[in-house]
Amino acid sequence: MLAEALAPGANGSASARALGVDASDSQAETGGSAFRPIEAAPALPIASELFRAFNEAGLKYGIIQDLASLHDGFAGRDDLDVLLDKRDYPVFCSIVCQLHGRRSVSLSCYDNVCAGREDWFLPDFSRGRYLHLDMHIGARVGWEFRKRYPAFDYAAIARWESISVDGVSVPVVSPEDELRIAIARFAFRAWALPWRQWIAVDKGWQQHFARLPFPSDEQGLQVVDYTFGGARTARCRFLQSADGLVAHRGDLARLRRSIREMCGYAGRYAIADAAVHLARKTSYLAVRFLQRLMPGRLPPKRRPAAGGLVVALIGPDGMGKSTQADRLTQIFGWKFGCAQAYVGTGDGNGWWIRKALQTVVFPHRRRLKSLAQNDGKDSSGRAWSKGGVVAAALALWAVLIAFERYAVVKRAHRWATRGLIVVCDRWPQALCRGYLDGPTIPPHLFSVPGLSALARLEQRLYEKMAGCRPDLTLHLVSDFAVSEQRKPGEIRKEAFDARLSLMAELRAKDKDIRTVDASAGIEAVGRELFRHIWLSL
H/E element holding 61?
Answer: strand 61-63
Where are the extended beta strands (E) located within 357-505? 421-425, 472-477
Please report how many Cα atoms fall inside a 13 Å half-sphere around the Cα of residue 231, on the Cβ side.
0
Distances (CA, A) of 357 to 28, 351, 369: 72, 10, 15
Confidence bin at 21 (pLDDT 50/70/90): very low
Whether 48 and 170 have beta carbons less than 8 Å apart is answered as: no
Q: Which residues of 511-533 are buried (b: 16+ CB within 10 A; e: fewer)?
A: eebebbebbeeeeebbbbbbbbb
Mean pLDDT of 59-81: 90
Question: Is pLDDT larger for residue 211 or for residue 75?
Answer: 75
Whether 420 and 455 have beta carbons less than 8 Å apart is answered as: no
Distances (CA, A) of 267 to 261, 272, 274: 9, 10, 14
For residue 117, the model assigns a pLDDT of: 92
Please report how many Cα atoms fall inside a 13 Å half-sphere around the Cα of residue 382, on the Cβ side.
0
**Burial of 217 by CB count in 10 Å (0-12 exposed, 13-18 middle, 19+ buried)?**
exposed
For residue 346, the model assigns a pLDDT of: 65
Number of residues that this document lists for the chain? 537
Q: What residue ranges define each of the domains in the chain, with the CATH number in brackets?
A: 45-269 (no CATH), 302-368+389-536 (3.40.50.300)
Within the chain, how many helices (H) and strands (E) appear?
15, 19
Statement: residue 406 has pLDDT above 90: yes
Identify the three-state secondary structure at position 254.
helix
CA distance 133 to 119: 6
Which residues, in sequence order, are CB contacts of 440 under 8 Å at separation 6+?
394, 397, 398, 401, 433, 434, 458
Mean pLDDT of 155-164: 90
Whether 250 and 217 have beta carbons less than 8 Å apart is answered as: no
Statement: residue 194 has pLDDT above 90: no
For residue 223, the model assigns a pLDDT of: 85
Mean pLDDT of 252-280: 86
Confidence bin at 509 (pLDDT 50/70/90): very high
Confidence bin at 338 (pLDDT 50/70/90): very high
221-227 and 102-105 strand pairing: unpaired
Whether 225 and 176 have beta carbons less than 8 Å apart is answered as: no
For residue 3, the model assigns a pLDDT of: 37
Sheet strand arrangement including 198-200: 198-200, 244-248, 233-241, 221-227
pLDDT tens per residue, range 426-453 = 999 988 888 888 888 877 666 677 778 8
Whether 89 and 137 have beta carbons less than 8 Å apart is answered as: yes
Q: Average pLDDT over the chain, rounded to whole?
A: 83
Whose CA is closest to 57, among 79, 30, 82, 83? 30
Out of 42-56, 188-202, 331-345, least confident range: 188-202
| CA diameter of the chain | 108
